[in-house]
Amino acid sequence: MLKDLDPVLNQQIRLAIVSLLIKVNKADFNYLKEKTKTTQGNLSHQLKKLKEVEYINITKTFERNYPKTYCSLTSKGKKAFEEYVIQMKKYLNPS
């Protein structure tokens, strides 16, 4: 029996965000916006959803008097992503 996919990660932009964060220690908001090719409002909304389920941490700082938002993957987020990949492989290659 195939397990249900994580509903948080089973959304295109959130999956893209976590896929990007799995490769780096942290990423800033503009980098994620550029790579996901989404709007500022949509990205903010998706980051909020990922933060609510504790898949990411969000840190706000200032650099040269400009606000910067950085995101990083939590261990819970990494584990959820790894499980999502395992489940996707099962969907693609059912026994």
- Reduce the DSSP state of residue 38 to 3 states and report it: coil
78 phi and psi, to 5 degrees?
A: -65, -45
Note the pLDDT tens digit of each residue in 43-84. 999 999 999 999 999 999 998 888 999 999 999 999 999 999
* Structural domain spans, the chain: 12-92
Q: Render 67-95 in DSSP notation, one character per residue.
A: EEEEEEE-HHHHHHHHHHHHHHHHHHS--
Distances (CA, A) of 15 to 7, 8, 63: 10, 8, 28
Position 91 pLDDT exceeds 50: yes
Q: Using CA atoms, how far apart are residues 38 and 1, in angstroms rounded to an integer? A: 35
Q: Which CATH architecture has domain 12-92?
A: Orthogonal Bundle (1.10)
Q: What is this structure's pTM?
A: 0.91
Give the β-pairing of 56-63 and 27-28: unpaired
Note the pLDDT tens digit of each residue in 24-45. 989 999 999 999 999 999 999 9
